[in-house]
Amino acid sequence: MTLLTNWSNPLKVDALRPEKDRRRARALFGQIKASGYAGGYTRVTDYIRAWRANAGKDIKAFVPLKFELGEAFQFDWSEEGMVIGGIYHRMQVSHMKLCASRLLAGGLPQPGP
């Protein structure tokens, strides 16, 4: 089974391919058979099935985002409706969120079209 355990890298490469371009177990079996594997086809399919069942479950990633004050912000526009003096107005409002403090700062409304 040691030769099979060395074949997890081609399985990882195949997992990144579109599904229609992935090699099937029979193609992988032919490839490792040509490399000197003397085991049977069912051992290969059992290994592939187990590998695919667990693929990607061990990978956990979290990248914390840290910013210095004033280093970065997020900016967006929205269109809001306001009633002023009984008259409905559509306003375009700018929104800015500071990344370091997560402070939400609304901008001045601009008259919409």
Q: Is the pLDDT of residue 5 over 60?
A: no
Mean pLDDT, range 98-107, rounded to an integer: 74
Name the pTM for this structure.
0.44
Task: Transcribe the chain into DSSP letters.
Answer: -HHHHTTHHHHHHHHHS-GGGSPPHHHHHHHHHHTT--S-HHHHHHHHHHHHHHTTTS----------TTT-EEEEEEEEEEEETTEEEEEEEEEEEETTT--EEE---EE--
Per-residue model confidence (pLDDT) at position 1:
45
What is the predicted pLDDT for the residue at 99? 84
Tens digits of residue pLDDT in 43-94: 888 888 888 888 756 667 788 888 888 888 888 888 989 898 999 999 888 8
